[in-house]
Amino acid sequence: MRRSRNAKIVATLGPASSEPEVIRRLFLAGADVFRLNFSHGLAQDHRRRFDLLRRLEQETGRPIGIMADLQGPKLRVGTFAGGPVSLQAGAAFRLDLDAAPGDIRRASLPHPEVFQALKPGDELLLDDGKLRLAVEDCGSGFAATRVLVGGVLSDRKGVNVPGALLPISALTAKDRGDLELALELGADWVALSFVQRPEDVAEARALIGERAGIVVKLEKPSALDQLEAIVALADAAMVARGDLGVELPAERVPAIQKRIVRTCRQLGKPVIVATQMLESMIAAPVPTRAEASDVATAVYDGADAVMLSAESAAGLYPAEAVSMMDRIIQQVEQDPFYRQAIDASHSGSAPGSSVADVVCCATRRAVSLLRVAAVVCYTSSGKTCLRAARERPEAPILSLTPRREVARRLALAWGVHALQIQDVRDVDEMTLRAVACARDEGFARPGQLVAVVAGMPFGRAGTTNLLRIAAVEPEPAAPVSR
């Protein structure tokens, strides 16, 4: 099954999309990667969804990526003795470590690391920013605040501390247990929530190794101060606009989104734009025009993927939401201005680039000059394909790899159609296999050209050093073995 677009779709599974037939419909509608949100559900729920996806992959013969999204360190207030309280603007309100139920004057905040990072003048945001408190005095176990924006506060609502670098790990005890399960099941990607600094990525890498790719969710303002270093250590990034939009003024989020996408493209790391993309389709069969434009903007900017959250996990129209996103992407990519925008934002190879970078940059130029029908990348680690995808060539990228886990991971990358094949032994066999796969998968017709990118010696990661242009011959009487 070949997708007729370059940008990919990530669909979240949940209560509305847990049955085999619904998951199949999401896949057929265009979902390339499926996200499992470990903030919700039990281990048996996630295990069952993994099994259903792997079964679907076997039935369809197309690699399917699975992303395990860890909850991360979510800060929450405690409970209230008499139910929800209504905080009035100008009133005093205290937060402390006392576990006793709260009232109109105080509440428990069982996170000592928050008090360690606070200073007078800081602001606290409660319940996704609906309430705003200003810190007037604070110590090792308390914060005396003044209510700036009031509202109703109830049990276990979330707390955000914008502008503060909190001395907490991005992996809680729950996350470590969920991570162990995700790796046991064979997750292709692990998404880290509330990343603040490069050390958070290094900590996760020490646990994950190369068993899964790491997606950093960029939703903390503190992460933006070290954006390049964080993205460089990760394998992919997500513009998580939910919490980012809570901790930052809404008007700043579009520019930050573009900065993150641009940084990821320069570093050759897949980037996902997420949160509220087709939010109205949770309850309606069609999106608003603004939502359609939001998806289109991410595609025009060159994002590798766009993501559905509640739309596919809990909405009334999960498959329709995927189909709508698929149609928006195709419409954008058919627009002549799309290619102009992609070319204008191309950074090219810089001084100090590797041989692999230069080969992939040359491939992009060859595709443009020769009207090459497809780029065929041989890869054992996936890095060759990611370098080729960074260049955003005009031709689709056909990834050939002997490793199933690499093919699955590449389901997230822009323009990449991945196939698992047997190893090749020499350049002639490589060329023959590349041409046959491009023809059989519908990427090229007899008489057209394909660009073959590989590394010598074969099978060794990080050796991309070969670009070969080959013509597609008519299909032989006996098909070439893969």
Strand order in the sheet with 123-126: 106-108, 92-96, 142-149, 131-139, 123-126, 159-160
Q: What's the CA gap between 81 and 102, in Å, rounded? A: 6
Count of CB atoms within 10 A of residue 441's CB?
Answer: 16
Sequence-distant (6+) residues with CB within 8 A of 51 are: none
The structure tokens listed for 97 are 């470590």
Q: What's the CA gap between 447 and 431, in Å, rounded? A: 15
The structure tokens listed for 212 are 């899964």
Q: Specify the length of the chain in residues.
A: 482
Among left, alpha and beta (phi > 0; psi -120 to 50; other), residue 30 is: left
Say whether 409 is catalytic: no
Q: Which of 24, 74, 76, 262 is catalytic?
A: 76
Strand pairing report for 464-471 and 449-455: antiparallel
Q: What's the CA gap between 81 and 223, in Å, rounded? A: 36
Say whether 76 is catalytic: yes
Residue showing tokens 């059989």: 440
Say whether 365 is catalytic: no
Side chain identity at 64, as an amino acid letter? I
Q: Which of 62, 132, 217, 409 is catalytic?
A: 217
Q: Which of 275, 379, 401, 431 is catalytic?
A: 275
Q: What's the CA gap between 294 and 308, in Å, rounded? A: 13
Helix, strand and coil in the chain, % to nearest 5: 40, 25, 40
Say whether 408 is catalytic: no
Q: What's the CA gap between 350 and 353, in Å, rounded? A: 6
Q: Which of 3, 35, 364, 433 is catalytic?
A: 35
What are the beta bridge partners of residue 420? 401
Host H or E run for residue 94: strand 92-96
Instruction: Note the Cα 444 to chain centre separation in Å.
Output: 30
Count of CB atoms within 10 A of residue 390's CB?
Answer: 26
Give Cα separations from 286 to 32, 241, 283 (angstroms). Answer: 21, 22, 9
Q: What's the CA gap between 212 and 208, in Å, rounded? A: 7
User: Which residues participate in catalysis according to the annotation?
Assistant: 35, 76, 217, 275
